[in-house]
Chains A and B, each alone.
Chain A
């Protein structure tokens, strides 16, 4: 199986710092902004971004975990049902600016489910999307990210494999050729 390295540990750290600078540019002191990490792997990225932002700004930032399983549009259509993960949003997002964070943006369907799941916690003033990897030209629905770590041109047969320290591995993100 062929695989291409998209991110190693060092590049990942540089990219996260850049994304944080970009966020600070738009959100200033984060007074009215909260972060929502999407389960399962978006939460690790969201945790790292929060840590970086808190280090730079010297303030506390609200972070929640959002699980979209019950809001997905492929329920009863998959061979294997998706196992739900914990949703932990210990604040209301009513009138807040929300930064939604996930590792990979592919068809956009998870993001649609997340937008739906989010309404359970109030009506946000604004929602922005941050992803580490944007698989270009592969959207099923009109969703676009506001902050992007890296754009990658991929084929449907390929898969992005995200391995992070939080999962007990080394930080490495690969593009895999599944067909071979």
Chain B
């Protein structure tokens, strides 16, 4: 296989395992490029990419922008906070106006689930979903699984637990799809109020006890508590959450094995994870960020490479 079947990257759900492997193999080559003295290739020099962010982001946006620039694309950035969206423009109008300026690809983050799918139906450009509400965040799942593959050699057969706010997390959903497609076993762990009621139907194990979950797993992907998405109280206090579900050094040392700690960022230090764990040798949090650029380069390259 040398190309993706899809024109857009809207979610992991519609990718095949072979397509994910193709993205990984391409990302290997880009990771090599990123470790050279000159970290740039000219592949996308005639491509213009718009980063359209209707929701806040630091890591994802910087990572995409860097990936685009390393591929020599022209980049324009748009964030809704300082735009005409505030004046009442619709999503389709905003994007059509951007496309009228001859843009080839759109990287979009939006707070509404399905917003990129809606756009894909109405416009010609390639669309990459950089997170849509509580739905999917495909490039994050790709870089997470790529990092597991890099650290442990393979994803197949590994046991991965996703800890925390599964209910509001697009990272969790995309990771569950990606991990299962690549042959990993997946468990979710968190307070019952933050686990979707029928999450077990996706074929994942459900565990309420963090210690049991950590005893079981090879990798723990720890999620942030997304206070901005929570419209009601799901647990009594952050302090109580931290006591029952926070991962700290004592807890890790009391396990009779070593596990890999991941976090998609941004970290709430002292809530879901303590500083001594986040900065320990078990953590691959900064490797995830590094791999993010290579994985996003691979996605941009493979989507742009399809003949127009």
Contacts and interface: CB of A to CB of B under 8 A. Distances in A.
Most buried by B among A67, A83, A121: A83
**B interface majority secondary structure:** loop
Interface stretch (A3-11, A50-58, A68-76): A68-76
B295 to A, nearest CB: 14
A87 B32 contact: yes
A75 B2 CA distance: 13
B304 to A, nearest CB: 6
Contact of A81 (B2, B32, B36, B42): B2
Contacts of A1: none
A79 B3 CA distance: 10
Given A71-B42, A76-B305, A120-B36, A81 B3 contact: yes
Interface string B270-308: 000000000000000000000000000000011011111
B41 interface: yes
B307 A76 contact: yes
**A interface majority secondary structure:** loop
Contacts of B26: 84
B29 A80 contact: no
Contact of A67 (B29, B44, B307): B29
A78 B3 CA distance: 12
A82 interface: yes
B34 to A, nearest CB: 12
B90 interface: no
> Interface range on chain B: under 10, 10 to 19, 20 to 34, or 35 or more?
20 to 34
Contacts of B2: 80-83
A70 B43 contact: yes
Nearest to A117: B41
A165 B136 CA distance: 47
Interface residues of A, number: 21
A116 interface: yes
Contacts of B33: 70, 87, 120
Contacts of B308: 76
Interface of B: 2-3, 25-26, 29, 32-33, 36-38, 41-44, 46-47, 301-302, 304-308
24 contacts: A67-B29, A70-B29, A70-B41, A70-B42, A70-B43, A71-B42, A75-B43, A75-B44, A76-B46, A76-B47, A77-B307, A79-B307, A81-B3, A83-B2, A83-B25, A84-B26, A86-B29, A86-B32, A87-B29, A87-B32, A87-B33, A120-B33, A120-B36, A120-B37
Given A70-B41, A75-B305, A83-B2, 11 more contacts: A70-B43, A71-B43, A75-B43, A75-B44, A77-B307, A78-B307, A79-B307, A81-B2, A84-B26, A85-B29, A120-B37
Which 5 residue pairs across A and B have the least CB separation, nearest first?
Answer: A70-B41, A81-B305, A84-B29, A83-B2, A120-B38
